[in-house]
């Protein structure tokens, strides 16, 4: 089965032909700023099962974990679609919302809870990592 993730204007597309993996919540400041929300939700897809089409621009930044993350976004609508994480060199990390799929697997773990907003309560089904 093929899974399609797109930017808001749909000029930048990522097609993944593998099985969807559960997503993760990330509370790092980079994800908070990237999404304009209190956390990011993302998943990993194997690069060898992924096709990306359309024009993108990239931005490199030093992540909370001290690695450089290269984020790819649409130059028209500015949606961040995917990024390279040095900890997962054979995968792209993809913003779950770009799949626009209400049936996407639920998050199974959460990272950077030391930056999590104190009023947020996570379900017991999510494994937490304080980093």
- In contact, 18 and 91? CB cutoff 8 Å: no
Given CATH 2.170.150.70, say whether it is the number of domain 3-129.
yes
Tens of pLDDT, residues 84-114: 998 899 999 999 999 988 888 889 999 988 9
pLDDT digits (tens, 9 = 90+) for 63-82: 877 789 999 999 999 999 99
**Using CA atoms, how far apart are residues 5 and 113, in angstroms rounded to an integer?**
27
CA distance 59 to 80: 10
Whether 130 shows a pLDDT value over 70: the answer reads no
Annotated domain spans of the chain: 3-129
Q: How far apart are CA 64 and CA 26, in angstroms?
A: 11
Q: Coil, helix or strand for 111?
A: strand
The pLDDT assigned to 19 comes to 92
Burial of 124 (0-12, 13-18, 19+ CB in 10 A): exposed
């Amino acid at each position: 089965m093929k899974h399609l993730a797109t930017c808001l204007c749909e000029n930048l597309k990522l097609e993944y032909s593998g099985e969807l993996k559960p997503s993760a919540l990330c509370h790092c400041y980079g994800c908070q700023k990237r999404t304009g929300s209190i956390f990011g939700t993302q998943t990993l897809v194997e690069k060898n099962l992924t096709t990306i089409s359309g024009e993108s621009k990239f931005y490199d930044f030093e992540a909370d974990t001290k690695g450089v993350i290269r984020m790819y976004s649409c130059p028209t609508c500015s949606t961040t679609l995917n990024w390279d994480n040095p900890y997962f060199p054979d995968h792209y990390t993809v913003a779950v919302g770009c799949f626009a799929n209400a049936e996407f697997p639920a998050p199974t773990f959460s990272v950077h809870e030391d930056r999590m907003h104190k009023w947020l309560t996570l379900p017991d089904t999510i494994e937490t990592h304080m980093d």
